[in-house]
Amino acid sequence: MTDGVLISMRGIQRFYRMGEHVVRALDGIDLEIGRGEFVVLMGSSGSGKSTLMHLLGCLDAPSAGRVFLGGEDVAGLPDGRLSQVRGRRVGLVFQQFNLLNDLSVLENIALGMLYSGVHRGTRLERARLYAERLGLGDRLTHRPSQLSGGQAQRVAIARALANEPDIILADEPTGNLDSRTGAEIMEVLYDLHRRGYTIIMVTHDPRYAREGTRRIVLQDGRIVEDAPGRRPVSVVDAALPGHPERRGRGMRPWDLLRVGIREGLLAHKMRTALTMLGIIIAVAGVIAMSSFSLGSKRKQADQIRALGANLMRVVDARLEGEKLSAARVGGSPGLSLADLELLRRDVPGIARSAAAREIRLNVVAESARPLAPRILGVQGDYLEVNNLALAEGRFIDAWDQEGNARVAVLGHALAERLGTGSPIGHELILGGNPYRVIGRLANRNLDIQGLEATGATDANYDLLIPLRTLLNRTRVFDMRSQIDEIQLQLEDEDTLMAAGVAVRRLLHVAHGGQEDFQLVVPLDLLKQKQQAQKLLDVLTFCVSSVALVVGGIGIMNIMLASVRERIREIGIRRAVGATRRDILLQFLTEAIVIAVTGGVVGIALAVAVVAGTCLAFELPIVVSPVMILVSVLASTATGLLFGLYPAAQAAAERPVEALRYE
């Protein structure tokens, strides 16, 4: 290349295959254009002038040949570098203006600098400068639909100039304008040429045929005329503004997010809302299902716990005769309160404990009605261990135990048999001794048949007295164990097996190796709880997965439709310098923002639905922070996964074809 040559084309060919036919749009073009020239390209329709402009503007690549722009061969450059060249060295002005309707005049002018990495404040200030130079100072906040044709074309020219390119390519810049407005636009181009810009213009208008420094005529893909025009070659004006400060390749992250939200999502509010609705429903469904599952688990666990799922019982074997004598001779004192203290001290995970002993006594009430209760002497946390509650009065306390008090607490059904309203203060005769009723248990509302698996009985028919009173004020059989049962309530029912091993080991040592006790662990209830939890977990996982997939498919479906609707927008962004990566990241950002925002809204909706439903159906309100975090991450991953294909489709659009899309 010689000094002063800006563009050099050697042996350029551009073929298009249409079925079995090959169209030779350009067939052997050799061309050099120097700095400061004003070249007018002419030719009939189909002559190849638009194809030549696309190659000069780096919007397309030749089938053969080499294209040098400022000494750099751009014919075989990868997309990223080619987009940089297109955005920073070439300014494109189109017949159709190609402005983004959702952006203001100022933002349209600054669009090219966005993809050059120019800081937002800098690019808006430069856009304002060029808008004012082209007489658009009072139209900065207007949308393209609010401009006249001449004003819209001035915006397009200002956008082409904003990155201070080496070349301005104008494709039929007056084609859609009336003669007066067209003349005004031509004066703008002439003025730019006088200031030193290199301009290449395609036109059909014979009035402008010789108004440049050269006139080039194409026919059937070849140059058939290259003649000088009327204007002299301009020299570069030293007063031209310098190139804006650039940050390197690509958009800034904050600009990427802003473009995705403001120019992508908020510009199409209804479509965005419909897309987001799917993920909102999906996330709300995931959290609601998990919350209902956790609430159901908790309620079920509470119900099972009421049946003793976390209650381990050590029961005296009730040995008789020779077996009882052998056990005592072997060193076992039988089950005792000392065993209770041993277990409380040495077995980890015990939350509460109690001891009980049953005795058979005749019971006479004031009403003379038969009661036939189960009489138990109890001590410790008997109420809590057995998940019982008082309906009225009080329970047996330490003072009653120490004082060997003759007091009693009645089960709910037993109190009703008295038939005297509140039983508090009434006296019962137990074994000939008066006992004063101090409390009544609340009704447990349990099906007695459901207790068979644990060997438990219905507390509604129990009569409870202090264990110390029973031991000190009633007769006992010789060698009988001090107590019948030790009850241990664990902090977590999942530790039942480990605690059972520890209890058995300690008592085996304390009883001299005698097996005069039985360890009762509610394995049936524990298995029932675990199986129910697994079933709920599987159901929640399946429903949640389906909901997320459906939401993701919704994102993909509408994002694909969005890509088809916005092909021309993609072409415009590519024409001013956006790379495939920029387009990919923009659409991917939109998908992720939709997913994340939908996730947050879905969380709020789920919490409201869960709270209302649980209150209505008397379920525990349980919202897991872990599930919320998982839902947000899952919705983000869903947006990323299902948004990737539409984003890739958008990025794959060729600039030339996208600009032609109607």
Count of all residues that appear for the chain in the document? 662
User: Which amino acid belongs to residue 274?
Assistant: L
d(CA 55, CA 67): 8
The per-residue pLDDT for 450 is: 44
More confident residue, 69 or 248: 69
Q: Which of 523, 528, 533, 530 is nearest to 311 (CA)?
A: 523
d(CA 621, CA 423): 37
Coil, strand or helix at 573: helix
> Cα-Cα-Cα-Cα dihedral of 100, 104, 107, 112, to 10°?
30
* Secondary structure element (H or E) that encloses residue 85, with its range: helix 79-89
The per-residue pLDDT for 240 is: 45
The per-residue pLDDT for 453 is: 45
The per-residue pLDDT for 304 is: 57
Could you tell me the pLDDT band of residue 21, with boundaries at 50, 70 and 90? Answer: confident
d(CA 276, CA 288): 18
DSSP class of residue 577 equals T
Q: Which of 472, 460, 471 is nearest to 373 (CA)?
A: 460
Number of H helices, E strands in the chain: 21, 21
Q: At what angle do helices 523-565 and 580-617 cross, to 10 degrees?
A: 140
- Range in 11-25, 230-244, 608-622 with the lowest mean pLDDT: 230-244
The per-residue pLDDT for 2 is: 46
pLDDT digits (tens, 9 = 90+) for 564-592: 888 999 999 999 989 999 999 998 888 88
Domains defined along the chain, listed by start: 5-248 (3.40.50.300), 267-303+529-660 (no CATH), 309-523 (no CATH)
Could you tell me the pLDDT band of residue 637, with boundaries at 50, 70 and 90? Answer: confident
The position carrying tokens 């008066």 is 434
Percent of the chain with pLDDT over 90: 34
Output the six-digit token pair for 412. Answer: 């709910």
pLDDT digits (tens, 9 = 90+) for 525-568: 555 555 666 666 677 777 777 777 877 787 788 888 888 888 99
- Range in 121-125, 173-177, 484-488 with the lowest mean pLDDT: 173-177
pTM: 0.66
DSSP class of residue 220 equals T
d(CA 647, CA 636): 15
Going along 229-373, which residue ranges are E strands? 311-316, 350-359, 363-365
